[in-house]
Amino acid sequence: MNFSSFGRFAVGGAAAALLALSPLELAAQAPSPRDLTGITVSGSYLAARHAERLRDAAAAAAYYRAAARLDPKNDQLVDRAFLSLVLDGDIAEAVKYAERVVKADKNDRFGRLVLGVHGLKEKRYGVARRNLAASVRGPITDLTATLLSAWASYGAGDGKGAVAEIDRLTGPDWYAIFKDLHAGLILDLAGNRKEAGKRLEQAYKLDDSALRVVEAYASWLSRNHSPQDALAIYEAFNKKLPNHPLVTEAIDRLKKGERLPPPVGSAQAGAAEALYGLGASLGRRGGEDLGLVYLQLALYLAPNQPLALIALGDLYESLKKPDLAIKAYERVSEHSPLRRNALIQMAMDLDALNRSEEAQKHLETLIRQRPDDVEAIMALGNVLRAHKKFSECADVYSKAIATIAQPEKANWLMFYFRGICYERSKQWPKAEADLKEALKLFPDEPHVLNYLGYSWIDQGVNLDEGMAMIKRAVQQKPDDGYIVDSLGWAYYRLGNYEEAVKQLERAIELKPEDPTINDHLGDAYWRVGRTLEARFQWAHARDLKPDPEELPKIEAKLKNGLPDETSSQAKAKPEKKGGDGG
């Protein structure tokens, strides 16, 4: 069926009803068998496309499969059903469709990739290698296919050939760390310890901040040199990224003199490692769809791999799918060191789903279990702050700060967040002290510079210093609408209305839907005589649901405009200049 001709068809009843729903209503529903009864090909297709736009892979797969059952010779429907199944993580079902996809197009690289991964899972290594060889085309897919094919060779008993295959691959410089890591892992499992050590050390030298590289090299050192050598590697990493659960657990074991097992123990686990590493990296760098595919394939090979599950949850969060993130985190084993991290993230996702009381209780339970867990305490503070419970969040952040013997640079965020809560709960002296402490720990941090500078100028104190702080913040974050708004509002407070308009118009370009910035621009327009535009901005600010305490002020300005500045008001600013802000 030609999709371009869909406009000529009447949309089926089920699809018509579905398309009448809002996106939120649709996202909350998955089609039941009854929903699919009587639906037409065109209706199924339209419903599937709508689900795709909402990134609801489960619904998209269900509708595409329904359409494909009605029109089984339509290769496009089969292909889309296949892709949706992979994105949803139903790889076992996707394999059936992959076979149909490659039957229609033997060179379909994505279908070949999935069949290759399936061959690895089934330990049919020859089948895996043949499919993977047909899946290459481009820097990412070339590297992926080569690493997976090498693990298939290792699974078939050819460790030497596996490493040779990796070494034959040429490409961008960033290939090197993946090549050395996986060659080292294969050599380690194959019993070639000396060469394994060389490759893992090379990977470590390329990036000593990559967790899995650190784990692989330290594990090799613990078994081939001494636990103390491995401990030194972990302790160096711990200084860069303190208290990672996997690192903390490894340090404890090494201090007891234990030797650590290799990070992977089979061809399947090694292939999953390759897919996880690439998928997590792609997801962080804007390649969400391919990252999601790789992570789902990794979990098909190693269903309980905790890092892959955490990465999948994190990717779903970036895609604004907290319900799916929760499902990923729920799969992290109770025995994994990462389980507690997963539980904390689940609470944040509950909050994102407007289940805030549940999220708060969830975090409070975690804190009762471990009162010194700073991550859980900070998460609770963040939930309370997001819901403007400022007195409560200040108390919670205080508990986190109380766990610190000597504040360090990494602790600046605690003081910054508590300072916000103090300022919003009208405890300015405490807020100012915390913001200054945050800057002491992290000089020139743009958000702290912005908040403290903005607060001073808004109060009419420390005007020169406050303006200098905001300008430094803007230099570092010129595309941050909130910080640019602070600069515009600082000019406004100083009476430089023309410059205020210039900066606030730029802030609006960066954050057009923020009620505060629209309100500020309205004020600036009024002061330069652009009263019609001022009323437009105020009306827009009103419609963007400002804070309840701001709404009456905006409505008053819409009715009466701004009062003229009195001479006493004009004099107040320079008279306060240079005050201590306390």
Q: Distances from the Cα of 186 to the Cαs of 93, 105, 165, 199, 267, in angstroms?
A: 30, 33, 12, 10, 9
DSSP secondary structure, 475-503, as one string: HH-TT-HHHHHHHHHHHHHTT-HHHHHHH
Residue 15 has a pLDDT of: 34
Query: What is the count of structural domains for the chain?
Result: 1
Domain-located, residue 530: yes
Between 579 and 259, the higher pLDDT residue: 259
Question: Which of 231, 534, 547 minimizes the C-alpha distance to 387?
Answer: 547
Q: How confident is the model at residue 267 (pLDDT cuts 50, 70, 90)?
A: very high
Structure confidence by residue, pLDDT tens digits, 147-168? 999 999 999 999 999 999 999 9
Residue 39 has a pLDDT of: 75
Question: Which of 34, 33, 36, 53 minimizes the C-alpha distance to 44?
Answer: 36
Question: Which of 456, 457, 460 minimizes the C-alpha distance to 436?
Answer: 456
Cβ neighbors of 529 (< 8 A, separation 6 or more) are none
Rounded to whole angstroms, the Cα distance separating 182 from 347 reads 35
pLDDT at 51 over 60: yes
Q: What percent of the chain has pLDDT over 90?
A: 85
Q: What percent of the chain has pLDDT over 70?
A: 91
DSSP, res 156: T
- Domain around 552: 456-582
pLDDT at 21 over 60: no
First to last CA, the chain: 73
Domain-located, residue 489: yes
Q: How confident is the model at residue 34 (pLDDT cuts 50, 70, 90)?
A: low
Domain-located, residue 465: yes
Question: Which of 174, 178, 200 minimizes the C-alpha distance to 187?
Answer: 200
Residue with structure tokens 């290769």?
Answer: 75
DSSP, res 185: H
Structure confidence by residue, pLDDT tens digits, 224-252? 999 999 999 999 999 999 889 999 999 99
Residue 138 has a pLDDT of: 83
Domain-located, residue 206: no
Rounded to whole angstroms, the Cα distance separating 538 from 558 reads 7
Domain-located, residue 355: no
Domain-located, residue 517: yes
Rounded to whole angstroms, the Cα distance separating 216 from 261 reads 9
Domain-located, residue 513: yes
Q: Which CATH number is 505's domain given? A: 1.25.40.10
Residue 37 has a pLDDT of: 67
Structure confidence by residue, pLDDT tens digits, 328-350? 999 999 999 999 999 999 999 99
Q: What average pLDDT score do residues 374-380 get?
A: 97
Q: Distances from the Cα of 9 to the Cαs of 41, 46, 50, 103, 484, in angstroms?
A: 10, 11, 17, 30, 51
Residue 29 has a pLDDT of: 58
Domain-located, residue 291: no
Contact present, 167 and 190 (Cβ < 8 Å): no
